[in-house]
Structure 1
Amino acid sequence: MIQPPKSASPARTKDNERPLVEDIRLLGRILGDVIREQEGVAAFELIEQIRKLSVAFRRDADHEADKALKKLLKGLSGDQTVSVIRAFTYFSHLANLAEDRHHIRRRAIHERAGDTQEGSIEVALARLRWAGISPRTIANTLATSFVSPVLTAHPTEVQRKSILDAERDIAQLLVARDDIKVKAASVNANKDALTPRELAANEEQMRARVLQLWQTRLLRFTKLTVADEVENALSYYESTFLREIPKLYADLERELGQHPVHSFLRMGQWIGGDRDGNPNVNAQTLIHALRRQADVALRHYLTEVHYLGGELSLSTMLVDCLPDMQALAERSPDTNEHRKDEPYRRALIGVYARLAAALKDLTGGDAARHAVAPQNAYKTAEEFLADLRTIEASLLAHHGAALVAQRLHPLIRAVEVFGFHLATVDLRQSSDKHEEVVAELLAVARIEAAYSSLDEMAKRALLLKMLNDARPLRVLGNVYSELARSELAIFEAALSARARFGKEAIRHYIISHTETVSDLLEVLLLQKEVGLMHGTLDGASTNDLIVVPLFETIEDLRNAAPIMRAFYALPGVAKLVQRSGAEQDIMLGYSDTNKDGGIFTSNWELYRAETALVELFDSVN
């Protein structure tokens, strides 16, 4: 009989918090030592006094301590205030690192005990199984799903990358410290002499990183550039997403009994493509973002292919390979006699050379290693993926499943998810900017001198007429405004980027402040102007970018379904969307609606808009 998933027992839920307390005390002690050494004993004692008074007031509701604390804080000099703020800021950061580590530690303890945690894949899938939903059904559902976490730019982020990197190092040292303790517990007492030295060395490394934090400027002198924002985002891919997302898929497939799981989870990004309110984002920043993303993805693949070449030293004197695999090896430019019986290594050297050439073509960068010169660049990620699958098929056909699982399969999954583009960059601009550009194009072409003054129905009629006209609007030799040139350059860059980095590099065009159907038609017309829309609306046309309305106010939410219904009722629109992939994204803004109507009204109107849109598209289908 199927049982509901087992959760951790109350006793285990109240685990011993001693490891967390020990980590916080260790990090607090190290920080205190650094402050005493760098700022002097008086500064350290002042910070300690403030800490003790704060604890007394918070824990014991000691009002005398509250009075003493307020008096002490009011009497601080400017330098003392900065020192106190820095001390408590860094202590809170270090405590957060310890808490994150403890969360991971407890999860591991629960897993070893056979317990599962709320929010885990195991609990979610166990509940589905308990409800009678089979693994095959779940896998089939995921095959038609699409989930895309999107990283957005945050120019107000106060933490510098230098500080984030140092804190990541401290987090890794906490992990290493746990490993040292586990090793110590697993050996006999007479073999434990090395552990104190290892712990001391670990603590010294932590001390160096905490000292680095204390001597590193906490705030920036200047505002982040778009390039800075791109680099900050990419650091998360290097440290997390590229390796962890393939592990997530592996966990899903294991829980589903090895039913293949479609790559439904992809990454998205606004940084480099979000122009709404940011004049520093333009066609150049878009191309820069995509080049940097490609560089991160390709260098990750190059590293993995290099290590695969070291691992797959299989000899045809000992194991066969499939004909396709042998052909892949024969196409490799590697002619080293020492590897003539090692088809996998030869093939991977060829794969590496092609990847290195792709890196040069797409980013201008050079690969770190060269067994043979870069050559015959992969044009698409699909070509690279096909070669990896040839290697996979041959290994699986000749008892090499264990070799596939460790590195090759995660690499294949990474290529499926990240391609050569790493993350899909969404384009976004405000609807009023599109209107200005369309108005200028129509005026210069002597089609309509006052487009912006037309009523909504007249705008729709004119835009439909233009979408059914094969001719472009731009007049050769005319000098357009800076806004028109900049906006059209974005669309042209998108056309070029999709050809260069793959169609997944840019898929969405988001229209902020969507209030009318003409807001959607204007973006279709701008796509048509640069070749992102193919054909005319009344013909067998397709468009490359999904037109995504963003409804941001309470009134906009209430109009969302009527606007989309009117849009799809226009002649040719529904067929255009169907021919272009049958996808329609819609964004509902929770932030502005919250400001506009308050949290309760916002949530209610979001719910009503969602249900109305679901009903609408059910009827369209």
Structure 2
Amino acid sequence: MSDLAKQEAAKDLPLKEDIRLLGRILGDTVRAQEGEAVFDLIERVRQTSIRFRRDDDIAARRELEAMLDSLSRDQTIQVVRAFSYFSHLSNIAEDQHHIRRSRAHAIAGSAPREGTMARAIEAAFEAGVTNEQIVDFFNDAFVGPVLTAHPTEVSRKSILNCQLKIAQFLDARDRIQMTPDESEENDAAMRRAVLTMWQTRMLRPTKLSVLDEVDNGLSYYSYTFLRELPKLYVALENLLAKHGDTWKTMELPSFLRMGSWIGGDRDGNPFVTADVLREAMRMQATVALEFYLHELHILGSELSLAQLLVSASDQLLELAERSPDKSPHRGDEPYRRAVAGIYARMYATAEHLLGHRVGRPPVGRAEPYAYAEALHDDLDIVHRSLLANGSGALAMGRLRRLRHAVKVFGFHLAAIDLRQNSDVHERTVAELLAAVRPGFDYLALDEEGRIAALLEELATPRPLASPFVNYSDETVGELEIFRAAAESHRLYGRDCIHNVIISKTDGVSDMLELALLLKEVGLLRPHERAIDVNIVPLFETIGDLQAASATMDRLFSIPAYRELLATRGEMHEVMLGYSDSNKDGGFMTSGWELYKAEIQLIEVFKRHGVKMRLFHGRGGSVGRGGGPSYQAILAQPGGAVQGKIRLTEQGEVISSKYANPEVGQRNLEVLAAATFEATLLAHPEAAPRPEYLEVMDRLSEHAFKAYRGLVYETEGFEKYFWESTVISEIANLNIGSRPASRKKTTAIEDLRAIPWVFSWAQCRLMLPGWFGFGAAVRAFLAERPDGMQILQSMCKEWSFFATMLSNMDMVLAKSDIAIASRYAALVRDEELRNAIFPRIRAEHQATIDALLAITGQQELLDGNPLLKRSIRNRFPYLDPLNHVQVELLHRYRDGNAEERIKRGIHLSINGIAAGLRNSG
């Protein structure tokens, strides 16, 4: 072994020790809870699986399959539970190792790493970026991760709580030199946490409601966002302060803010109603206000400064005088009394907004704050007084973080996006118009006719809806949810709902229809030429992406619409759909059409003088636009980021990124750093060689043909998909409030993209993340004898192409064609199975061969040894879960509908998802 290899092995040793420790504790727990025989069985399965993976021992594979296929019903459940929990524990150990390595770099004084703000700012100064340019960036920037709920989120909050405790105990072992007694207590506490996890239900007994999803999403604010986001702002300000006087006293604006779809996304989800939106807002506000009250209570105890010893500003003294705290014991403590007054006002604010009391009762009554900015103004008075009177160090602690929190989270916590399908808006508008203009058939109009009719209505403040007309339930529901949005603006401030998104946008009329509905509730006011939210088109299918620039060009040519943009800072957001475009056209064509759409949109926005903000609807998996966020942002075309970006965070990716506070802060920093670099360090004129664009067009054409030929043009493929994956069982699993399909059919076209991708991941085929690439390269090389050299140059010189290959590399490394063949055997029609699976297997191998030839790798993931190690460590614990899942599916589909069989299938889905980490 080389010296470098020995050093790397030494770095990984703590990870291996943590995995062994957690595995040993889990094993002891299984032995104590289930008995020696069960422990011995699980250990035999584990060792056999490791032997097969480590030694590529075919005999071990046959032994493993025979062992797993012969399990009794109860043994099956126990094996699935054990290996599922081990996947979760391995995730904890890996996250802790990332934290450990980051701390080791910091302690050693290593150069800032890629993806950190320290490295991004250092690179900016090295490149000659001026202080003024950096200030302008932060003043104009917006980075918005948006949490979404969907049908494949498998993590329960109770399980996450157990995992967080285990992570904290592991972390303590790293940071603290423990006495023997302390070490023993740490071990005992960790064992209690693992035992609690083992005895906690991994599955939900009933289907989630939307408000359950809201509650689950809010847990990440308690774990991470409320504390880590303010810390990130403080760390960034401290970092900048080292670069000169310009930054010494500058406070960063709130350019990084959280968003949410949970409670506002009603596209295909009939359970998202106006009442649900109102309750989601109230729940979010509760979390924010309780946090502020908690922090203010502690802050008051910390600021015990006596007026005899420390001066205070006139404004601070006035704030203290207005406080209901009149205790003589605190008469000479103006800061404490001022904070007590702020607390009393916040307590009254919570009571006013929520309709009930939260937190400790204040010392007396006070008026509520009308808006969050007023709270921040009062905190600023405390801050300035401390700075002016020799107590600046006290202003730089809890108070500083609280001030940032109030600016970031307001009274609403996170902006909720509203989303609905354009077809619903279209039907609603048609019904409203028909009621006021009898005989007028809006749906019969062509696109230009619709635009003319909508602009006519938008020009007048007259509302269309009448209380004396009986509208359909759909129309009533749509109007009511917009009224709830307007109410929320009045209660929590306009920041609570910024964006209203139109799914399946394919024309200008889709956006004008939404504008008309917003006018009905006062969110658009024609006489003021003002609009209070962003109208956001979502271009999803391949055809919609290809038409996106023309649609926006036509929209910006309408003077009345341009006048509205003036009230939105001449900025317009466009959302790009990665999931449906992938399901529609395949991995390669989706990625390429998205890239081309961005280039065309950049040109249209520039020509019309409108600022562009792209919202990337990325999933966790590569098949839904996933992959490392840092590389994805930097791979955008020059000029696409412009300091502004939003992107979705979905499914189990949310828990893997944000359940651990330190890992969460790191992931937030990565988004900020990538946006900073893409804006200030990318050259707008830098573009791939024209030849590369032509090559990508040809590759995309070939890949599209191969993908569509399999998925949409092969007779029986729909049946093959439903029988060879766990899609049926996913559709019935209690893991989300939203149906798996948009309509009650099994058609691929109607299936939501999320369960489509998730199902392929479960059977370890990952088809949406690679299929068509091998065929595309083969066809291209047949056309161009020098094609391989061109593709290799593209990989070296073009970040878009390199990132595409890197993501495909990861997906292929996580796939397993042998395991996938066992799922193919679930297809009862042998002729259908033999017509489809060999095509998939051949394309899988062709894709791997093409990828290795282009990248120059000998094996998959040679360029990413950390991920390669992680996957290698996981496979021995994933393989048994897949084998058991197949056997359970056989039994279930043969008519054994016992509850334990269904439970075993659902448990295996959870465990495989945990092991893959980014499958949804």
Displacement after TM superposition at 1:473 (Å): 0.9
Q: Which residue is equivalent to 1:432?
A: 423
1:135-146 equivalences under 5 Å are 135-146=131-142
Conserved 8 A contact 2:548-2:597: yes
- SS, match of residue 510 in structure 1: strand
Displacement after TM superposition at 1:12 (Å): 6.5
Q: What amino acid sits opposite 1:307 in the alignment? A: I
1:257-406 equivalences under 5 Å are 257=241, 258=247, 259-406=250-397
- SS, match of residue 142 in structure 2: coil
Conserved 8 A contact 2:210-2:271: yes
Conserved 8 A contact 2:461-2:525: no
- Detail structure 1 runs of 4+ shifted over 4 Å in the superposition: 9-15
Displacement after TM superposition at 1:119 (Å): 1.6
Q: Which residue is equivalent to 1:608?
A: 596
Q: Which residue is equivalent to 2:212?
A: 228
Displacement after TM superposition at 1:586 (Å): 0.4
Conserved 8 A contact 1:155-1:224: no
- SS, match of residue 535 in structure 2: strand
Q: Which residue is equivalent to 1:22?
A: 17
Instruction: Output the CA distance in 2 between the equivalents of 1:52 and 1:375.
Output: 66
Q: Which residue is equivalent to 1:96?
A: 91
Q: Which residue is equivalent to 2:201?
A: 217
Q: 1:219 to 1:289 in 2, by over 3 A?
A: same
Displacement after TM superposition at 1:155 (Å): 3.6
Instruction: Output the CA distance in 2 between the equivalents of 1:516 and 1:458.
Output: 12
Q: What amino acid sits opposite 1:176 in the alignment? A: A
1:111-122 equivalences under 5 Å are 111-115=106-110, 116-122=112-118
Q: What amino acid sits opposite 1:370 in the alignment? A: P
Q: Does the alignment pair 1:52 with 2:43?
A: no
1:359-508 equivalences under 5 Å are 359-446=350-437, 448-508=439-499
How many residues in Structure 1 have an aligned counterpart in Structure 2?
Answer: 598
Displacement after TM superposition at 1:15 (Å): 4.6
Displacement after TM superposition at 1:31 (Å): 0.6
Conserved 8 A contact 2:416-2:498: yes
- SS, match of residue 537 in structure 2: strand
Instruction: Output the CA distance in 2 between the equivalents of 1:506 and 1:443.
Output: 30
TM-score by length of 1: 0.94
Displacement after TM superposition at 1:470 (Å): 2.2
Conserved 8 A contact 1:309-1:348: yes
Q: Which residue is equivalent to 1:5?
A: none
Instruction: Output the CA distance in 2 between the equivalents of 1:531 and 1:589.
Output: 29
Q: Which moved more, 1:240-249 or 1:360-369?
A: 360-369
Which protein has greater RCO, CA pairs closer than 8 Å, 6+ apart?
2
* 2:223 counterpart (239, 261, 267): 239
1:22-171 equivalences under 5 Å are 22-115=17-110, 116-171=112-167
Instruction: Output the CA distance in 1 between the equivalents of 2:24 and 2:93.
Output: 13
Displacement after TM superposition at 1:446 (Å): 2.0
Q: 1:611 to 1:447 in 2, by over 3 A?
A: farther
Instruction: Output the CA distance in 2 between the equivalents of 1:592 and 1:332.
Output: 56
Conserved 8 A contact 1:550-1:588: yes
Conserved 8 A contact 1:275-1:428: yes
Q: Which residue is equivalent to 2:668?
A: none
Instruction: Output the CA distance in 1 between the equivalents of 2:133 and 2:568.
Output: 27
Q: Which residue is equivalent to 1:542?
A: 530
Instruction: Output the CA distance in 1 between the equivalents of 2:510 and 2:269.
Output: 20
Displacement after TM superposition at 1:459 (Å): 0.8
Displacement after TM superposition at 1:137 (Å): 2.5
Instruction: Output the CA distance in 2 between the equivalents of 1:135 and 1:38.
Output: 62
Displacement after TM superposition at 1:387 (Å): 0.1
Q: State the Cα deviation string for residues 157-180 of structure 1 (Å, max 9, x = none).
A: 222111111111111111122233
Q: Which residue is equivalent to 1:586?
A: 574
CA-atom RMSD, angstroms? 1.5
Instruction: Output the CA distance in 2 between the equivalents of 1:11 and 1:247.
Output: 36
Conserved 8 A contact 2:347-2:362: no
Displacement after TM superposition at 1:11 (Å): 8.3
- SS, match of residue 587 in structure 1: strand
Q: 1:138 to 1:594 in 2, by over 3 A?
A: same
Q: Does the alignment pair 1:249 with 2:233?
A: yes
% identity of equivalent residues: 51
Instruction: Output the CA distance in 2 between the equivalents of 1:497 and 1:535.
Output: 21
Conserved 8 A contact 1:136-1:256: no
Displacement after TM superposition at 1:583 (Å): 2.2
- SS, match of residue 256 in structure 1: helix
Q: What amino acid sits opposite 1:80 in the alignment? A: Q
Displacement after TM superposition at 1:399 (Å): 1.4
Q: Does the alignment pair 1:173 with 2:169?
A: yes
Displacement after TM superposition at 1:513 (Å): 0.4
Q: 1:109 to 1:531 in 2, by over 3 A?
A: same
Q: Does the alignment pair 1:523 with 2:514?
A: yes
Instruction: Output the CA distance in 2 between the equivalents of 1:373 and 1:154.
Output: 44
In structure 2, stretches of 5+ residues that fail to align are 242-246, 610-920
Displacement after TM superposition at 1:201 (Å): 0.9
Q: State the Cα deviation string for residues 249-289 of structure 1 (Å, max 9, x = none).
A: 11211221234322111110000000000000011111111
